[in-house]
Amino acid sequence: MYEFMDDGGLLLIGVAPKYIEMLRRLPAIAHGDGAERFREPDPMDPQNRSPEARSLRDDWMDLVVPELHEIFDNQHCAVNEVLDKAEPSYFDDWLFHQQKLAKDFAENFDEEMEGDDEDAQPPERTEAVDLIIPPELIEPWYGALNQGRLALHARYGDSEGEFTNSEDSSKSDAWNQARAHYSFYSFLQYPLIHLMQTEFDEKFLGSDESQAEDDDSDDDLPF
């Protein structure tokens, strides 16, 4: 569950521990097999073996790739920065108190009915947390998630994008686990790209359009 914040940030509500673990694993995934797909990109067609292409490739490895690594590693730092500031979920707390109220009510009801409460379960906290991604970390977060998806797809997926399909019992546990990671990262990217697009539109399309929209909405008023 997520909510867009007024300042352009994103609030992730009630993120379960297993998903936090998936996010913590992002750097390991993005440095594993398949990572060369984006960590060491070829600046020219790999089939091009001309001296010029070779020279450009050498320059790319010496000058550009280290810079790319720094960018990508900073994106992981942005994810960890948010994870380190995770707060116990307000939603989880709310759910806990709802369960507690329900239990109290059930106990009182049972007393009145002279019943027993052997089956009643004590409320449990889920240990879920809320994450706040500030506006300046939206893009690094998107990049970090993208790194994870690119590496996972290079390792486990196929060219048709079949990797995004649902769980497959005929595949290995590692494949299914990777697919779960991939799906979760994709899910998180949707609100992030929405915020990035909104920020871009506001910055470069200006307030004229929003003003026009306001004018239109005034025209639509029934009085």
Residue ranges in contact with other proteins by CB under 8 A: 38, 41-45, 56, 64, 67-68, 71, 142-143, 146-147, 149-150, 153, 157, 159-161, 163, 189, 193, 196-197, 200, 204
CB of 84 to other proteins, least distance (A): 24
- Helix or strand (DSSP H, E) at 130: strand 129-133
CA distance 178 to 157: 9
CB-wise, 11 or 44, nearer to other proteins? Answer: 44
CB of 128 to other proteins, least distance (A): 27
CB of 21 to other proteins, least distance (A): 22
Tokens 């550009």, located at residue: 64
CB of 216 to other proteins, least distance (A): 20
Which residues make Cβ contacts (< 8 Å) with residue 198, sequence separation at least 6? 8
103: exposed, middle or buried (Cβ count in 10 Å: 0-12, 13-18, 19+): middle
Contact between residue 23 and residue 79 where contact means Cβ atoms under 8 Å apart: yes
Contact between residue 151 and residue 86 where contact means Cβ atoms under 8 Å apart: no
CB of 45 to other proteins, least distance (A): 6
CB-wise, 176 or 189, nearer to other proteins? Answer: 189
133: exposed, middle or buried (Cβ count in 10 Å: 0-12, 13-18, 19+): buried
CB-wise, 57 or 103, nearer to other proteins? Answer: 57
CB-wise, 36 or 87, nearer to other proteins? Answer: 36
Tokens 């673990």, located at residue: 21
CB-wise, 89 or 146, nearer to other proteins? Answer: 146
CB of 123 to other proteins, least distance (A): 40
CB-wise, 12 or 150, nearer to other proteins? Answer: 150
CA distance 96 to 118: 20
Name the DSSP class of 171. Answer: S
